[in-house]
Chain A
Amino acid sequence: MRIFFIICFSLITYSVNAQVKLLTLDDLDKRIAQGKDTTYVINFWATWCSPCVAELPNFEKLRLANLKKPVKVLLVSLDFKSKLQKKVIPFAQKNNIKAEVFLLNEPDQQQYIERIDKKWSGAIPATLFVNMKVRRFYEKEFTEQELKNTLLNLK
């Protein structure tokens, strides 16, 4: 019986993992506000961006290292919305990405780049560390160690 539950549970998690949901910045703000003491590590990437793809495993390692802590890794793709079915979902499945994957559903780059961070040029990869108290934005690539340290030193 127990095994049955475990199988069901893993099937559910698997199907959730294979999904890529559309996300607006309002959705994201709501999520952060509801997270209470949760720190969100939000990576902005795209399937076409090679340094982004190269650093995704570092975010997976960060996620695994913080499973028991109030830390959530969100991978927000900036691929064109028209590429959701053809590129982003197959990419997430093929690479067996376990973190939550989203595709940013905002029509206006001008507006959303500024809203995420005023200093952001729009270059990716870029990563936002955010909780109710702190908001730190980095327009850079991260190593596993840098991610770990940035999270630890977040004040």
Chain B
Amino acid sequence: MKNLFLIGFMLISSFAVAQSEGYKIGDLVKDFALKNVDSKMVSLANYKDAKGYIVVFTCNTCPVAKGYQERVSALNASYASKGYPVVAINPNDAGAVPDESFEKMQALAKEKNFSFPYLLDPNHVVTKQFGALKTPHVFVLSKTDKGNVVEYIGSIDNDAEGENPDKVNYVQNAISELSAGKKPTISSTKAVGCSIKWKKG
């Protein structure tokens, strides 16, 4: 009997841990409504014809995220028309880092001609749901009858510096495979990035 309690307790605690760690591969994504740089609200459900999404947690200030800005734009240019639009979310708190403000996001989106939404996530609600921990941090989703399923979590490629002779384009590969009705061969990768600047207090 004691053991049963112990097992029950372990199950509950492991569930609690899993909850706080955000989405895993195969999880269903809860839709959101976040304010875009044009002040309009954006939800995944807005994209009626999408087959999936490239959700990118990125920001104004992180040097790694900045290094990937053009690659994020290129992903949207290549894949939005194929049914996989980029949806960028800034997970950082402007109270913690003033340069992460909504106005600075608007300025960046304008300067770099973002062709995709760049969303504000006040209080980190969506960031925590996803379990994003850094910028850049990418989640590729596929739209299914059951909802939007997480198919890939990680980095855009393994070439932050732009000098890797063995470059692998993880996100591109994942989408090619999804488009062909397959699951991504590599569904999770890791790379160095900037920690999320959480709201203080």
Contact = CB atoms under 8 A, between A and B. Distances in A.
B176 interface: no
A50 B160 CA distance: 18
Given A121-B137, A139-B133, A51 B191 contact: no
B105 to A, nearest CB: 18
B145 interface: no
Interface of B: 61, 63-64, 97, 133-134, 137, 155, 158, 160-161, 163, 189-197
Given A82-B163, A121-B137, A139-B195, 8 more contacts: A80-B160, A109-B160, A114-B190, A121-B193, A122-B192, A123-B134, A123-B195, A123-B196
A56 interface: no
Contacts of A49: 63, 194-195
B195 A141 contact: yes
A142 to B, nearest CB: 12
Given A110-B158, A139-B133, A120 B195 contact: no
A110 B194 contact: no
A124 B163 CA distance: 22
Contacts of B197: 51
Interface residues on A, range: 20 to 34
Contacts of A50: 61, 97
A48 interface: yes
Contact of A122 (B63, B163, B191): B191
A78 interface: yes
A84 interface: no
B16 to A, nearest CB: 16
Contact of A123 (B161, B163, B194): B194
A32 interface: no
Nearest to B131: A121
Contacts of A139: 133, 195
Interface string A114-126: 1000001111110
Contacts of A141: 195
A130 interface: no
